[in-house]
């Protein structure tokens, strides 16, 4: 080594120790592997609707040469109207993942332990470890939260992450249990309600009387805007102020914000294009919720839609595949010999 040679500085120890999140492969890669056109790939591995949401061509022209209004007043007001809370209880972010990241930045440090039930959404662990905290994991029993031990360990947790319905198991915890959890912990309770529009169960009524509760939602699922990256938090004044302190300015593009506002003011269109997929009452589905908000009880949120789509393609066989040594096997139905290769449809 010459005297002038330099080695790059090491990242923070927490970054070196953490296991980064691995995202699913893009549809183009799946199409190449399966030997089908990309427009024939239907994604269910990311729990998103296979039908897109609002289209850009429905929007008025946006000033793309200008930075967005960092208050996101129009988007915030639309979310407040949709959820029935005051605008000062809303914090927006670039997808629910950024909102979860804001929470970790605001409330987790090297002295903090965050509680999860395992298995659950992997980003909870990633964000906790990035912030320097540690994970206290309560193993699930038969893929269900081990409720009493989880309650007991929540007492001393700085932050408790809870996905309801849970990703990936689909378990839906009742409001009474969520309320008990919020009351027993002295720390922050984060309710990830990415699938609220399918479950109909929410902890939102808690935020006015329990200042430690924050509800996180997204427009990626029922609204079909996963590519736009728009999420939001609903919380009392103290948590909302903390999240705004650490939120970067302008992380949501003007186009994404406009698409979100359009979607939030066109609920009829969202229900007709998306929720209708679960109206056929496949096994385990229940369409008795108000406003036809069908849900799957204690099952992966898209399992009903998957069964109904696959039922339209009876001639498909199922092959397992893996996108890498560290990833679980996925499946795709492929056409039998009775269909030409150009008509094959890959469902992931």
Q: Is residue 33 located within the same domain as residue 119?
A: no
Q: Is residue 27 located within the same domain as residue 77?
A: no
Write down the pLDDT at residue 266: 79
Average pLDDT value for the chain: 80
The yes-or-no verdict on residue 339 having pLDDT over 50 is no
Q: Is residue 93 located within the same domain as residue 21?
A: no
Q: Is residue 264 located within the same domain as residue 316?
A: no
Q: Is residue 64 located within the same domain as residue 183?
A: yes
Write down the pLDDT at residue 273: 58
pTM of the model: 0.79
H-assigned helices in 173-253: 175-184, 196-199, 237-246
Write down the pLDDT at residue 270: 66
Write down the pLDDT at residue 149: 98
Q: Is residue 42 located within the same domain as residue 60?
A: no
Q: Is residue 160 located within the same domain as residue 177?
A: yes
Q: Which of 261, 248, 254 is nearest to 65 (CA)?
A: 254
At residue 306's C-alpha, the angle toward residues 303 and 307, to 5°, is: 90
The yes-or-no verdict on residue 334 having pLDDT over 90 is no
Residue 157: CB atoms within 10 Å: 21
For 185-224, write each residue's pLDDT tens digit: 989 999 999 999 989 999 999 999 999 999 999 999 989 8
Q: Is residue 258 located within the same domain as residue 163?
A: yes
The yes-or-no verdict on residue 300 having pLDDT over 60 is no
Q: Is residue 182 located within the same domain as residue 219?
A: yes
**Residue that finishes a domain, picked among 268, 285, 318:** 268
The yes-or-no verdict on residue 34 having pLDDT over 80 is yes
The strand ranges marked E within the chain are: 41-42, 90-93, 113-118, 134-139, 159-163, 188-192, 213-218, 231-235, 285-286, 295-296, 317-321, 330-334, 346-347
For 93-130, write each residue's pLDDT tens digit: 999 999 999 999 999 999 899 999 999 999 999 999 99
Q: Which of 221, 279, 231 is nearest to 252 (CA)?
A: 231
Got the DSSP string for 142-192? TTB--HHHHHHHHTT-SEEEEESS-TTT-----HHHHHHHHHH-SSEEEEE
In a domain, 174, yes or no: yes
Q: Which domain holds residue 156?
A: 56-268
Q: Is residue 146 located within the same domain as residue 68?
A: yes
In a domain, 25, yes or no: yes
Q: Is residue 22 located within the same domain as residue 62?
A: no
End-to-end CA, the chain: 50
Number of folded domains in the chain? 2
């Amino acid at each position: 080594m010459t005297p002038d040679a330099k080695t790059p500085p090491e990242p923070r120890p927490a970054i070196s120790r953490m296991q980064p999140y691995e995202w699913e492969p893009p549809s183009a890669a799946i199409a190449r592997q399966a030997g089908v056109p990309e427009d024939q790939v239907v994604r269910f591995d990311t729990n998103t609707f296979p039908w897109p949401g609002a289209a850009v061509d429905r929007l008025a022209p946006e000033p793309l040469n200008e930075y967005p209004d960092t208050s996101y007043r129009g988007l915030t007001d639309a979310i407040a109207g949709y959820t029935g809370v005051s605008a000062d209880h809303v914090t927006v972010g670039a997808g629910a993942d950024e909102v979860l990241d804001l929470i970790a930045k605001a409330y987790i440090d090297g002295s903090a332990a965050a509680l999860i039930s395992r298995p659950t959404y992997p980003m909870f662990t990633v964000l906790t470890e990035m912030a320097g905290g540690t994970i206290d994991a309560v193993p699930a029993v038969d893929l269900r939260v081990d409720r009493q031990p989880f309650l007991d360990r929540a007492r001393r947790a700085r932050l408790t992450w809870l996905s309801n319905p849970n990703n990936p198991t689909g378990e839906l915890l009742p409001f009474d249990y969520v309320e008990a959890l919020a009351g027993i912990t002295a720390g922050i309770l984060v309710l990830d309600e990415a699938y609220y529009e399918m479950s109909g169960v929410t902890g939102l009524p808690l935020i006015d009387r329990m200042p430690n509760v924050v509800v996180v939602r997204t427009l990626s699922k029922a609204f079909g805007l996963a590519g736009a990256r728009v999420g939001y938090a609903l919380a009392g004044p103290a948590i909302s102020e903390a999240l705004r302190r650490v939120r970067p300015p302008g992380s949501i593009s003007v186009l994404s914000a406009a698409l979100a506002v359009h979607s939030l003011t066109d609920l009829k269109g969202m229900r007709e294009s998306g929720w209708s997929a679960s109206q056929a009452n496949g096994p385990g589905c229940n369409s008795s919720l108000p406003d036809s908000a069908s849900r799957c009880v204690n099952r992966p949120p898209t399992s009903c839609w998957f069964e109904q789509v696959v039922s339209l393609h009876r001639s498909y066989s199922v092959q397992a595949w893996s996108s890498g040594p560290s990833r679980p096997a996925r499946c795709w139905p492929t056409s039998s010999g009775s269909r030409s290769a150009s008509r094959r449809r890959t469902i992931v």
